[in-house]
Structure 1
Amino acid sequence: MRCPCNSGESFEGCCAKYLQGIEGGTVVYPPTAEALMRSRYTAFARGDVSYLLRTWHPDTKPASLELDPDQQWYSLEILSTSRGGYFDDDGVVSFRASYRSAANRKLRDSLTETSSFTRQGKQWLYLAALEIH
């Protein structure tokens, strides 16, 4: 099965290890802000609320999160990245995520967002949406 994040990799070879949080007995974190963005998109696509909350910065994280069951996420396009690399402590990722209605698959739309990320130790965290269209 291909990974929902559109990396071209299999789910097991891409975001699964991040959503599960462990690989081969070792705790695994996305190594870049973009990798975290991709894994968070995958969590949205798979309905994994616990991962979304676990990777949200505590200063901006909501107390709870309820996903819209009518939204079926089917495509992610990374538009740009700024910083967020292996040696950075912050980063910005712009992306377009497309979804369709589960009730009426002909109803399609997309969300374009620029998000900020920060790293605490080895773990990248989603901080906030800087811009949403």
Structure 2
Amino acid sequence: KVWDLSVKPTLEYVVPTIASVGFIKWRPQRKFHIASCALVVDCGVNVWDVRRPYIPYAAFTEHKDVATGVAWRGDPHVFLSTSRDHTLYHHVFQDATRPADKANPQGIALSCRMDVSHAYRVHVNPSRTAKLAGKLW
């Protein structure tokens, strides 16, 4: 959870993670990106976009044991991480895995009245869309 403590404590964002978070650090020059390390289980460092909290924006999985800290190098594309495996890694964003790119673009929901709803990706042909728009107006 991310709280605004400037006046009265207000909950700003919630990012669900698979394990308790042990360390966080805001990404420099990126208002909505935050890096996190888990206390147990997860050995990677995830960078989250708090506007899309259910899947990491970027993941760095080089450590063999739980990551313990993150230090940005002043550049939003470069940071260092430490781990219980006694290693220090220098990370560059172009090397990150992007979990959202591998996510399944379909979804399904079932209501308590047994109604089924689904969503899926539709590839739009721009020329066909323009023709349809012309017919509507």
Q: TM-score, normalised by structure 1?
A: 0.34
Larger radius of gyration: 2
Highest relative contact order (Cα 8 Å, sep 6+), 1 or 2?
Answer: 1
